[in-house]
Structure 1
Amino acid sequence: MSTIIKKADFIDSIEDALQYISYYHPKDFIDAMHSAYLREQSPAAKDAMAQILINSRMSAEGKRPLCQDTGIVTCFVKIGMNVQWDSDLTVQQMVDAGVAKAYSNPNNPLRASIVKDPAGKRINTKDNAPAVVHIDMVAGDQVEVMIAAKGGGSENKSKMVMLNPSDDIAEWVEKTVPTMGAGWCPPGMLGIGIGGTAEKAAVMAKESLMDPVDIHELQARGAQTTEEALRLDIFERCNKLGIGAQGLGGMTTVLDIKIKSAPTHAASKPVVMIPNCAATRHVHFHLDGSGPAELTPPKLEDWPEITWEVGDNVKRADLNNITKEEIQTWKSGDTVLLSGKILTGRDAAHKRIQGLLESGEGLPEGVDFNGKFIYYVGPVDPVGDEVVGPAGPTTSTRMDKFTEMMLAETGLMGMIGKAERGPATVASIKHHKAVYLMAVGGAAYLVAKAIKKAKVVAFEDLGMEAIYEFDVVDMPVTVAVDSEGTNAHDTGPAIWKVKLEG
Structure 2
Amino acid sequence: MTVIREADFIQSIADAFQFISYYHPTDYIQALAKAYEAEESPAAKDAMAQILVNSRMCAEGQRPICQDTGIAMVLLKVGMQVQWDSKMTVTEMVNEGVRQAYMNPDNKLRASILTDPAGARKNTKDNTPAVVHVELVEGDKVEVNVAAKGGGSENKTKFVMLNPSDSIVDWVLKTVPTMGAGWCPPGILGIGIGGTAEKAMLLAKESLMGHVDIHELQERGASNRVEELRLELFEKVNALGIGAQGLGGLTTILDVKILDYPTHAASLPVAMIPNCAATRHMHFTLDGSGAAVLTPPKVEDYPEVTWEASSDTKRVDLDTVTAEDVASWQPGERLLLNGKLLTGRDAAHKRIQDMLANGEELPVDFKNRFIYYVGPVDAVRDEVVGPAGPTTATRMDKFTDMMLEKTGIIGMVGKAERGAIAVEAIKNHKAVYLMAVGGAAYLVSKAIKDAKIVGFEDLGMEAIHEFEVKDMPVTVAVDSTGDSVHQSAPKEWQAKIGKIPVTSN
User: 406, 409, 430: which is aligned to 1:409?
Assistant: 406
Match of 1:218 in 2: 217
Letter in structure 1 aligned against 2:243: G
Q: Name the structure 1 match of 2:428.
A: 431
User: In structure 2, what is the equivalent of residue 442 of structure 1?
Assistant: 439
Q: What pairs with 1:373-388 in structure 2 (closer than 5 Å)? A: 373-388=370-385
Deviations 1:2-54 (A, max 9, x none): 10000000000000000000000000000000000000000000000000000
Q: Which residue matches 1:346?
A: 345
- Residue number among 456, 462, 465 corresponding to 2:462 in the alignment: 465
List aligned pairs for 1:90-239, cutoff 5 A.
Answer: 90-239=89-238
1:276 aligns with 2:281: no
User: Is the aligned partner of 1:493 residue 2:490?
Assistant: yes
Letter in 1 for 2:366: F
Instruction: Name the aligned partner's letter for residue 422 of structure 2.
Output: T
1:41 — aligned with what?
Answer: 40
387, 397, 410: which is aligned to 2:394?
A: 397
* Contact map agreement 2:379 2:386 (CA 8 A) in 1: yes
Q: CA deviation at 1:430?
A: 1.1
1:253 matched to 2:252? The reply is: yes
In the other structure, the counterpart of 2:71 is 72
Q: 2:330, 2:479 within 8 Å by CA — same for their partners in 1?
A: yes
Q: What code does the residue aligned with 1:24 have?
A: Y
The number of equivalent residue pairs is 499
Q: Distance in 1 between matches of 2:225 and 2:90?
A: 36
Q: Could you give the per-residue CA deviations for residues 441-489 of structure 1, whole angstroms, max 9, x where no partner exists?
A: 0000000000000001111111100000000000000000011111000
5+ long unaligned stretches in structure 1: none
Q: Which residue of 2 aligns with 1:474?
A: 471
The whole-number CA distance in structure 1 between the counterparts of 2:277 and 2:165 is 33
TM-score w.r.t. the length of structure 1 is: 0.99
What SS does the corresponding residue of 1:348 show, helix, strand or coil?
Answer: helix
SS of match in other structure, 2:4: strand
Contact 2:54 2:65 in 1 (8 A): yes
Q: Deviations over 1:358-384 (max 9, x none)?
A: 0001212xx111010000000000001
Identical aligned pairs, as a percentage? 69
Q: Aligned equivalents of 2:426 and 2:342: distance in 1? A: 18
The offset of 1:309, in angstroms, is: 2.6
In structure 1, C-alpha distance between the alignment counterparts of 2:280 and 2:221, rounded to whole Å:
28
Runs of at least 5 residues in structure 2 that lack an aligned partner in the other structure: 500-505
* Distance in 2 between residues matched to 1:121 and 1:162, nearest whole Å: 33
Give the distance between the partners of 2:281 and 2:34, measured in 1 at CA: 20
Aligned to 2:503: none
What is the aligned partner in structure 2 of residue 53 from structure 1?
A: 52
SS of the counterpart of 2:74? strand
SS in structure 1 of the partner of residue 328 of structure 2: coil
String of CA shifts for 1:213-259, please: whole Å, max 9, x gaps.
00000000100011000001111110000000000100000000000
1:454 aligns with 2:451: yes
Show the counterpart of 2:289: 290
Distance in structure 2 (CA, Å) of the matches to 1:11 and 1:26: 22
CA distance in 1, matches of 2:160, 2:176: 13
Q: What is the match of residue 332 of structure 1?
A: 331
**Superimposed CA distance per residue, residues 167-193 of structure 1 (whole angstroms, 9 cap, x where no aligned partner):** 010110011000000000000000000
1:368 aligns with 2:365: yes
Determine if contact 2:188/2:256 at 8 Å carries over to the other structure: yes
Letter in 2 for 1:346: R
What residue identity is the alignment partner of 1:462? Answer: L
CA deviations 1:145-165 (Å, max 9, x no partner) are 000000000000000000000
Q: C-alpha deviations, 1:47-77, integer Å up to 9, x for none? A: 0000000000000000000000000011101
Q: In structure 2, how many angstroms separate the alpha carbons of the residues matched to 1:310 and 1:94? A: 46
SS in 2 for 1:321: coil
> Which letter maps to 1:19?
Q
CA deviation string 1:313-371 (max 9, x = no partner): 1100000111111111110000000000011001000000000000001212xx11101
Q: TM-score, normalised by structure 2?
A: 0.98
User: What are the Cα deviations for residues 399-442 of structure 1, in whole angstroms up to 9, with x where unaligned?
Assistant: 00000000001110100000111112111111111100000000
How many Å separate the matches in 1 of 2:158 and 2:310? 38
**Contact 2:392/2:416, CA 8 A, preserved across alignment:** yes
The secondary structure found in structure 2 opposite 1:328 is: helix
Aligned-partner Cα distance in 1 for 2:361–2:496: 50
**Aligned partners of 2:309 and 2:473 also within 8 Å:** no
Distance 2:384 2:311 in 1: 30
Equivalent AA in structure 1 for residue 471 of structure 2: D
Kindly provide the amino acid, as one letter, of the partner of residue 258 in structure 1.
K
Whole-angstrom CA distance in 2 between matches of 1:418 and 1:6: 43
Q: Does 1:6 align with 2:5?
A: yes
How much is the aligned-residue C-alpha RMSD, in angstroms? 0.6
Structure 2 residue matching 1:351: 3-state secondary structure: helix
